[in-house]
Amino acid sequence: MKLYESWKESYENLDNAGYETFWREYLPKEMENYKYILSHKDETVGGKLVDIADKFNMETVTFAGFIDGINDSLKESIDLDELTEDSNISLNVDFEKLYYNMLDAKADWLYNLDEWDGVLSTEKRKQIKKEYDKTKTVVKEQLPGRNEPCPCGSGKKYKKCCGAK
């Protein structure tokens, strides 16, 4: 069985208590990985998956899950379905994209890490946050007043046409 499939199976069939325990154990490991990557921003982590997993003190299946989480933030994504312990991988991170994706995942324990200070300036992080917020802003279209002409073009008042429905 491939590593990524094993990763998905490790949490998909758990009951609620097991599911919560699984993530409670995984998330601190994930945070430590990101702390390392951010504090070594000029280093591209690469090599055999088994060696990198060992470097990060993770089992290979768990590290495949980490790769799943960071994959959208890499300059060159990794084919998760083909991952094996002997796969050569490179975690060449696009840090702006990573910060944006952490905002999108609502992972405040990750996008508030102190290690970001050495990677992106406060102004740049605010700019990325502002861009992210724009994608989540909902503009509600204002309906016409009751006695205004109906926007459907019927010539009737809105209250007697589409507003009556």
pLDDT (0 to 100) of residue 36: 96
Containing structural domain, residue 54 = 3-120
Nearest Cα neighbor of 64 from 81, 40, 76, 43 is: 81
For residue 69, tell me if it sits in a domain: yes
- Can you say how many angstroms the Cα of residue 116 is from the centroid of all Cα atoms in its chain? 16
Q: What letters, b where the CB count within 10 A reaches 16 and e where it falls short, cover 114-132? A: eebeebbeeeebeebeeeb
Domain assignment present for residue 146? The answer is no
Give the pLDDT band (50/70/90) at residue 122.
Answer: very high
Q: Is residue 162 part of a domain?
A: no
The per-residue pLDDT for 143 is 80
Would you give the DSSP letter of residue 156?
S
Q: How many domains does the chain have?
A: 1
**Predicted TM-score (pTM) of this structure:** 0.80
